[in-house]
Amino acid sequence: MIALSGLFLAAFLAATPVPFQSEPVFLGFQAAGWGTGLLVLVASVGNTLGSCVTYALGRWLADQRDHRWFPLSPPQLARAERWFARWGLWLLLLSWAPFGDMIVAVSGVLRVPVPVFLVLVAVAKTGRYIALGWLGAVAFGR
């Protein structure tokens, strides 16, 4: 269990503003013989919960719009709102991508409903780890 908590933590941190990658940890566990299904489950839950932290930070930032230190200028925020309005909630299916943390944070700023957020992000994160697990299984001959 202690070893799997390391994977959980790596996946969790990778979905927050902390610069971290969980893929090497996942593949390391897979190369060591851990079951792919278990690794997908642990990493997906950790990564989804990490995205919840990023979403919550976005919601908190939305309440700080009137402060000078708010990271987005009014034109940048308006651009993000237009971008999100154009592409819709389905952008959250890209939350696994390198720019996905920004999509997650913006969804928090724009107050996407939590249940919708959770379903789309969980599907995206789980799909990403399934694909990674498949690639690892091919690479490691499992």
- Please state the pTM of the whole predicted model: 0.89
Q: What are 49-92's pLDDT values in tens digits?
A: 999 999 999 999 877 766 666 667 778 878 878 888 888 788 99
Number of domains in the chain: 1
Q: Which domain holds residue 74?
A: 2-140
| Token pair 């402060």 in the structure block, residue | 67
Q: What mean pLDDT, rounded, does the chain reach?
A: 91
Contact 109, 58 (CB under 8 A): yes
103: exposed, middle or buried (Cβ count in 10 Å: 0-12, 13-18, 19+): buried
Contact 12, 46 (CB under 8 A): yes
